[in-house]
Structure 1
Amino acid sequence: MTLDSDNTTHGGSGDHKIASEPLFVLPTGHTTGRKTGDAKSTGAPSPMADSEAAKLLAAALELISSLDQHDQFASAASTTAASIANWLSCPRVVLAWQPRPDSPLQICGDTATADSTTLLAAADEISARGSLTDSGSTDPSQRHSLMAVKQFAKAAACKRVLGVALQDRDQRGGALLLCYDRAISESQAATTLRCLDAVRVPLAGKLAAIDRNQPGRFRQWMLAWSDAKYHEKHKWLIAGIVLVGTLLCFPVTYHVAADCRLQPVLRRYVATPIDGPLEKVYVRPGDEVQSGDLLAKINSREINYQLAAKEADRERLAAKLKGQRARQEFAESTLTELELQSVQLEIDLLLHQRSHLEIRSPLSGMVVSGDLERSEGIPLRKGDTLMEIAPLTQMVVEISVPESELTHVESGMLARFQLYALPGQSLDATIGTVHPAAELIDNENVFVAEAVVEDSDGLLRPGMKGRVWVRSDKKTIAWIAFHRAYHAVRRSVGW
C-alpha cells in the first residue's frame, strides 16, 4: 500500500525537500525476530489490517504536516510523542534524538516521567540496531541485542516495548519507543511496527530539518516573549516585574541615619573667687539649682586674721599721723597719711573678699560635674574650677554624620532622634550648623551637625546617646537601596 505526497518541510531560514518518491511505503511484513513458523507474524496481512494501517498512516501524514507549524525542536518532539500516543492508543511514547552526529541521545519527547538511565540505554540499543524492535520477540538470536530494552521494560513495568530507529541524511540517529502497560495482540503489534517502519524515514527527515533550522537562543526568547500564550501564562510574573520596577522608580524621602549625643546648649564653670580653704559644699553633680542658690563656702578664718592685722596697722598709723600734725611735721605727716591710705585699701579688699566667701549659682540648671565633698578643708587658689552648671531647658544634639553622607545633610533639614535612655519617645529638631572640619569620634571620621531641642519635660540629660534620622532630599527607592553597594563597587575597582 502506497501514499504519495510532495511534502516540503519548512524550518527557520531554509526548506528541506523530503519527497520526490512516495512518502510512505507500507511494507507487507516486518522483521521482529519471530519464528518463521508463526502464522501471526508471517504472510500477507488481512484486509482489515490494511484498513487499520491506512488509518494510522493517514494520522501519521497529518502529524508530519502539523510539524510545519513548529520552529523549535523541543515543541516538535513533544507534539510527535503526544500525537503518536494518541492515534496508536499507547499509554507512553518516548522520542530520543541525537542533536549532533557525535553527541549522545537525549530524551526530547516523553508523555511520562523519564526512568533515569535505563530509558536512554534502551533508546541507544534501538538506535544501534537500526531496525524494528519488539521486546516480546522470542527469537533466540535477538536475546542479547534486546537486553537494554528488556531491562527498561522491567524497570518501567511495561508489558511490551516496541521501537524503531530514526536516522536522517546527516547520520544523526534517534529512536521512537512505544511502551505498553498492558498486553497487546500480535496483530496489533505487527500493524504498529509496520506503521512505525513506514513513517520513520519521513519523520526523521522532518525532525532533522526542524532541528537544523530552529532559531538561536536569543531569537527563541524573543519569539516566546511575543507569543500571546506566553504572555497569558506569565502575565502575573510580568505584572509583578512591572510593578516592582515602577516602585523602584518612585521617589521617597531619603533618611540619613547617624549616631547622636546630647550636650548642654550652654556651659558655665564656677571658679574659686579668692584663695582659701574650702569650708562646705552644698550640692553634688546631678542636683538642680536655681540662680543665686548657695553652692559652696570658703573658710573666712585667714581673711579675718589678715583683716584684724590691717585694722591694727590702720589705728597705729592714724595715731602717728595725729602726733605729727600736732608737732607740725608736715613732710613726715604726708608720708604717714599715704601709708594710712594704703592700709585702708587693703582693709577694703579684705572686706570685699569676706563678702564673697559664699559661692552661688550664676544661672538655673543642673550641676553637671564637680563632686567636692572629699575636698572640704583643702586650700584653694583663686580661679580653680569648682563645678560645671548647664541649663536644662535646651539641649544640643550633636549628630555624627558619616563622611559618605555629608553631601546629603544641610542646615535647615529636619531630624528625628530616639535616645537609648528613652526608647519609647521620639524627638524632633532642626539642624542649625554643620561643622566644616571632620572629627574623630569613636574611632570614626565624622562631621558633626548640631541641632537644638527643647526639653520642657526635663527628661534630657547631657551625655545621653541615641540614633537620629535626618530627612534629606527625595530619592528613588532604587537609589536608596543600591547606592551604597554601587559606590562600594566603584571604590573597590577604582572607577
Structure 2
Amino acid sequence: VLLLQRQVDNPFTEQDQHWLETFAALAAPGVVAQRRADRHLLHHVLDDCRSLWRKMTGPRHYTWKLVASAILVFGVVSTLLPATYRVTAKTSIEGQVQRVIPAPFQGFVSKSWHRAGETVHAGDVLAELDDKDLLMEQAKWQGESDQYARKLREAMAEDNLADTQVLSAQYDQAAAQLALVQSKLDRVKLIAPFDGILVSGDLSQSIGEPVDEGKTLFEVAPLTHYKVILKVDERDVAYLNEGQSGQLVLAGMPGDPLELVVKRIVPVAVAEDGLNYFRVEADLLGHAPPLLRPGMEGIGKINMGRRSLLWIWTHHFTDWLRLQTWTWL
C-alpha cells in the first residue's frame, strides 16, 4: 500500500493518479523480492518445501511427480532389499614359508648362478663367496696346530708339566680357529634349502663386491604353499573375523578368481598412501594354479554377510559424520 499526502489546495490530479499506478505496478515486484531476500534462510527453505509439495500434490508437473516416485521406490527398495556386503582390499601373494639366505660371514661375492624369479631345487648352489683368504687362513692355522701338536708331544715325552699345560692350551686355541675357518669354508656356497622360487636376490651384477655378515642375499619361497596378504582399510577392519570367506582376482589372472578364507588379523595398523591399513592373512582354498607366484598382486573381497543396500552405500559416510560430530561437539 502506498500512502501519499498533499495540501488541500493542491490535490492529486488524474494524471498524477495514472503515474502513481504505473509506478506502483513497476515497484511492487521489486519490493516483494527485496523483502523475500532479507528473510532468514529457514523461511527460504520452508517456501521451497511448500512449492515442491504443491508441485507433487497439485495438477500438472508430471516430471516432478515421476522423479519423486522413482526416488521413493529406490529408497524403499534399497532399505528393504538385502545384498552381500564385501570388504575390498589390495592383495598380494606371499610364500607360506619364506626362507632367508644371509651372508654366512664377511667376504666378497665370487660367483652367482641364480637370480630372483628363477625356480630352484633343494641343494642347488645359488651363489658362492670368495674363499682365497679363508684357504690361506686355514693353511696358517693348520701349520700352527701341527707345530703345537709336535711341541706338545715333546713336552709330554720329557714329562714337563708346565710346558705341557701351556702347549695344550695353545693347541686347543689353534684347533678351534682351524675348526672356525673350516666351518666358514663349508658355508662358502649358498645352497637352496628346498624346492621353490627365488623371491629376491640377484648377485650377478655384484661379483667382487663385499658383503657383510648377516646381510640378506636371497629369499626362497615354496611353490606349493601360499598365503594371501590383504591390506584392509581401518574403517572396515571392525567387520572382519577369522574364518570369513572371500575371493581374490589377481592382475595376472583376471579370469581365474581364487577362493580364500581369513586366517589371521594382525592388530597393528600400517600407514601407506595417507591411509591406515591392517594386515590380514588368508589361506587359499583348493590347489594353487600353476601360474601363481609370490609377489603377484590383485584385489580381494571378503564376504561380511547380508546387509541392506542403503547401509552398504552409506555406512562409510555415516561413520565419518559420527566422527565429525564427536570432534566438534
Gap regions ≥5 residues in structure 1: 1-216, 225-233
Does the 8 A contact of 1:408 with 1:473 survive in 2?
no
**Correspondence list, 1:97-136, <5 A:** none
Gap regions ≥5 residues in structure 2: 1-52, 60-64
Q: Secondary structure at the match of 1:350?
A: helix
Question: Which stretch shows the higher mean deviation, 398-407 or 384-393?
Answer: 398-407
1:301–1:238 Cα change, 3 Å: closer
Does the 8 A contact of 1:393 with 1:458 survive in 2?
no
Letter in 1 for 2:223: L
Letter in 2 for 1:438: A
1:457–1:311 Cα change, 3 Å: same
1:302–1:430 Cα change, 3 Å: same
The Cα shift of 1:242 comes to: 7.0
1:318 matched residue in structure 2: 149
The Cα shift of 1:241 comes to: 7.1
Does the 8 A contact of 2:110 with 2:129 survive in 1?
yes
**Correspondence list, 1:336-347, <5 A:** 336-347=167-178
| Correspondent of 2:83 among 238, 252, 276 | 252
RMSD: 3.4
Q: Deviations over 1:80-111 (max 9, x none)?
A: xxxxxxxxxxxxxxxxxxxxxxxxxxxxxxxx
Distance in structure 2 (CA, Å) of the matches to 1:294 and 1:247 = 62
Letter in 2 for 1:426: P
Aligned length: 266
Distance in structure 1 (CA, Å) of the matches to 2:155 and 2:71 = 115
Does residue 299 (structure 1) correspond to residue 130 (structure 2)? The answer is: yes
Does residue 477 (structure 1) correspond to residue 318 (structure 2)? The answer is: no
Does residue 290 (structure 1) correspond to residue 121 (structure 2)? The answer is: yes
Q: Deviations over 1:173-221 (max 9, x none)?
A: xxxxxxxxxxxxxxxxxxxxxxxxxxxxxxxxxxxxxxxxxxxx99x96
The Cα shift of 1:300 comes to: 2.3
**Correspondence list, 1:412-491, <5 A:** 412-453=243-284, 456-484=288-316, 486-487=318-319
Q: Secondary structure at the match of 2:193?
A: coil
1:338–1:440 Cα change, 3 Å: closer
The Cα shift of 1:343 comes to: 2.0
Distance in structure 1 (CA, Å) of the matches to 2:312 and 2:136 = 75
Letter in 1 for 2:244: M
The Cα shift of 1:341 comes to: 3.0
Letter in 1 for 2:211: L
The Cα shift of 1:490 comes to: 5.8
The Cα shift of 1:326 comes to: 4.7
Does residue 274 (structure 1) correspond to residue 101 (structure 2)? The answer is: no
Letter in 2 for 1:332: D
| Correspondent of 1:333 among 164, 175, 185 | 164
Taking structure 2 as the reference length, the TM-score comes to 0.68
Identity of paired residues, percent?
Answer: 26
Larger RCO: Structure 1 or Structure 2 (Cα < 8 Å, ≥ 6 residues apart)? 2
Distance in structure 2 (CA, Å) of the matches to 1:238 and 1:337 = 102
The Cα shift of 1:426 comes to: 0.7
Does the 8 A contact of 2:234 with 2:276 survive in 1?
yes
Letter in 2 for 1:363: F
Distance in structure 1 (CA, Å) of the matches to 2:156 and 2:324 = 97
Q: Secondary structure at the match of 2:236?
A: helix
| Correspondent of 2:221 among 368, 390, 409 | 390
Taking structure 1 as the reference length, the TM-score comes to 0.47
Letter in 2 for 1:395: Y
Does the 8 A contact of 2:156 with 2:164 survive in 1?
yes
**Correspondence list, 1:361-400, <5 A:** 361-400=192-231
The Cα shift of 1:451 comes to: 0.9
Does residue 355 (structure 1) correspond to residue 186 (structure 2)? The answer is: yes
The Cα shift of 1:482 comes to: 4.3
The Cα shift of 1:289 comes to: 1.4
